Amino acid sequence: MDPRLTLARPDLADAALQGVAAAERYDAPKAWQVAVPATALRKAPAAEAEQWTQLLFGERFSVLDVQDGFAWGQGARDGYVGWVAQADLVPLGEPATHQVAVLRTYAFSEPNIKSRPEGLYSLAALVSVETREGRFAKGAGTGWFIEAHLAPIGLASAVDAAEVALGFLGAPYQWGGRESLGLDCSGLVQQALAATGRAAPRDTDMQFSFFPAIDEAERRRGDLVFWNGHVAILLDRDTIVHANAHHMAVAIEPLAEAIARIDAAGVGQPTGWRRP
């Protein structure tokens, strides 16, 4: 079992894993959800611990343990396990009815663009719409969104993942990031595909194993090219867009130049091509 996706450790595990994962004690996790625009899921219960990924507003998080102000559990979006600041969570509320369908948008304190912004919400954040007034929709536990910036759950907001990825151009590179204010290579892939209604695992190795392989000669727009620890989206046969630590941003790069640069850095040649 992949420990990144298994809610189990030697002293405690999800009751659903009894007989599957060895632990001293088993318990049923409690359902919570993210109450801030984005929060880090960390390696350990400490603010300075490595960020493995992020959870976005409204995403469900099943909590099994709490230590030092951090909750240990598993995210519902992609199954990732880790520690989240307890202050960023609230008990599970009404199911989400919509998700943010633009790169980022404000929630306002009132149904008025002149009112105070209460937060900046990224693509794919989940919202339970309570009521509407004019062009605004009120989200449970947050403010008023421009309703045109939301899409009903189950309705894809885009058809071209490559075009979605281009919307992130210039966004800073952030290890473990999934938000529009900063994300990593696999986070960009996950978010771009989510906007088209397609789920993707979180990490590059997971994505490499998840999507069907294609021959390099078959590559086209929207396909993925992988290296050890890195992934990029093809804009066409000869150009990629990717969040990368060389540019420290989401950037467009000629494929041949990226292959040469990454190989020269000691990473090696591409390990494969995949089609989501």
Q: Does the structure show a pLDDT above 90 at 78? A: yes
- State how far the Cα of 142 lies from the Cα of 149, in Å rounded to an integer: 15
Give the model's pLDDT for residue 26.
98
What are the tokens at 53?
A: 């990924």
Q: Are residues 58 and 106 in the same domain?
A: no
Q: Are residues 194 and 270 in the same domain?
A: yes
Q: Are residues 83 and 176 in the same domain?
A: no
pLDDT category of residue 158 using cuts at 50, 70 and 90: confident
Q: Does the structure show a pLDDT above 90 at 7? A: yes
Q: What is the mean pLDDT of residues 210-224?
A: 98
Q: Are residues 46 and 78 in the same domain?
A: yes
Residues in the chain: 276
Give yes or no for a contact between 26 and 55, defined as CB atoms under 8 angstroms apart: no
- State how far the Cα of 9 lies from the Cα of 3, in Å rounded to an integer: 8
Q: Are residues 143 and 71 in the same domain?
A: no
- State how far the Cα of 219 lies from the Cα of 237, in Å rounded to an integer: 6
Total number of domains constituting the chain: 3
Q: Which of 91, 117, 144 is the last residue in one of the domains?
A: 91
The predicted-structure confidence for 18-27, as pLDDT tens digits, reads as follows: 999 999 999 9
Q: Are residues 181 and 269 in the same domain?
A: yes
**Residue 103, Cβ neighbours under 10 Å: how many?**
17
Q: Are residues 146 and 228 in the same domain?
A: no
pLDDT category of residue 167 using cuts at 50, 70 and 90: very high
Give the model's pLDDT for residue 157.
81
Q: Does the structure show a pLDDT above 90 at 58? A: yes
Q: What is the mean pLDDT of residues 118-127?
A: 96
Q: Are residues 140 and 170 in the same domain?
A: no
Give the model's pLDDT for residue 156.
84
Q: What is the CATH number of the domain that holds 175?
A: 3.90.1720.10
State which H helix or E strand residue 113 sits in: none
Q: Are residues 188 and 246 in the same domain?
A: yes
Q: Which of 91, 112, 131 is the last residue in one of the domains?
A: 91
Q: What is the DSSP letter of 28?
A: P
Q: What is the CATH number of the domain that holds 82?
A: 2.30.30.40
Q: What is the mean pLDDT of residues 146-172?
A: 95
Structural domain of 19: 3-91
Q: Which of 91, 120, 142 is the last residue in one of the domains?
A: 91
Q: What is the mean pLDDT of residues 175-188?
A: 98
Give the model's pLDDT for residue 215.
97
Q: Does the structure show a pLDDT above 90 at 155? A: no
Q: Are residues 205 and 268 in the same domain?
A: yes
Give the model's pLDDT for residue 275.
98
Q: Are residues 189 and 235 in the same domain?
A: yes
Q: Are residues 168 and 265 in the same domain?
A: yes
Burial class (CB in 10 A: 0-12, 13-18, 19+), 1: exposed
pLDDT category of residue 139 using cuts at 50, 70 and 90: very high
The predicted-structure confidence for 227-260, as pLDDT tens digits, reads as follows: 999 999 999 999 999 999 999 999 999 999 999 9
Q: What is the CATH number of the domain that holds 118?
A: 2.30.30
Q: What is the mean pLDDT of the chain?
A: 97
Give the model's pLDDT for residue 165.
98
Return the percentage of the chain with pLDDT > 70, whole number. Answer: 100
